[in-house]
Amino acid sequence: MGRWLREPGVIEDRTLVRAIVMVGIAAITMLIGGLLLAVLEGFSPASALRDPLATHELGRSVGLLSIVGVVLWVSGGVMYLFAATLVPARSDRLFLCLAGAVCLFLALDDQFMLHEIPSDKLPAGDLIVAAYYGGAFIVIAWVMRTWVRDRIAIVLAIALALLGASLSFDVIRGAEGTALGAVLEDTFKFLGIAYFTAYAALKSYDLVAAARPVSARVKDGVRSE
């Protein structure tokens, strides 16, 4: 491919091609989806491509942490899904794909406030949403229990505790409408997302490193079990 290229690293050609294709498909899908959503809501397609701060006279900090939170959700999902292409064990791939799907769904929910739809239209909607998300996390945790029995699980436990606290403040805020409740809800949610993404990075690395040949792990200083 040219003398200017240095010697190839550990990433195989097929892995590189797979990454290029996956990124292209995901980016094009999101682009088309965003443009169609703008049209369905009666806006110009170009509005989906512009930053909100470019169209509204708002401070630069407005919505900053919310945007960062969505980016973290997406980052966690991408790390999981890419790691799924690198591990040979089907069970590990299943875990990584499921975890990636959860992160990407939460990114969509966070960006488009999907959980607010039943909250606004159903009696006691906040309680219904809280029960749904709480139950869903319990089911997912039960399905994934085999893969979270390690030291890294402490990071996941911290993330779930923070997200659970955020959900609790969301219910309280819906019942009482306090400004403090809103601040606490979003603060705990942001911290929970950060730890959830950290767990995604650590777990993905752990499974990928464990799947590498023993000789490669010893060379890189990764202790084999």
Per-residue pLDDT of the chain (225 residues; tens, 9 = 90+): 445 445 555 667 777 788 788 778 878 888 888 888 888 888 877 777 776 666 665 666 777 788 889 999 999 999 999 899 889 999 999 999 999 999 999 999 888 888 777 766 777 667 777 787 778 888 888 888 888 888 899 999 999 999 989 888 877 765 555 677 778 888 999 999 999 999 999 999 999 999 876 545 545 554 444
Distances (CA, A) of 8 to 15, 129, 170, 204, 220: 13, 49, 50, 23, 16
3-state helix, strand, coil in the chain (%, to 5): 75, 0, 25
What lies within 8 Å, CB to CB, of 122 at 6+ separation is: 128
In the three-class reduction of DSSP (H, G, I as helix; E, B as strand; rest coil), residue 41 is classed as: coil
pTM of the model: 0.76
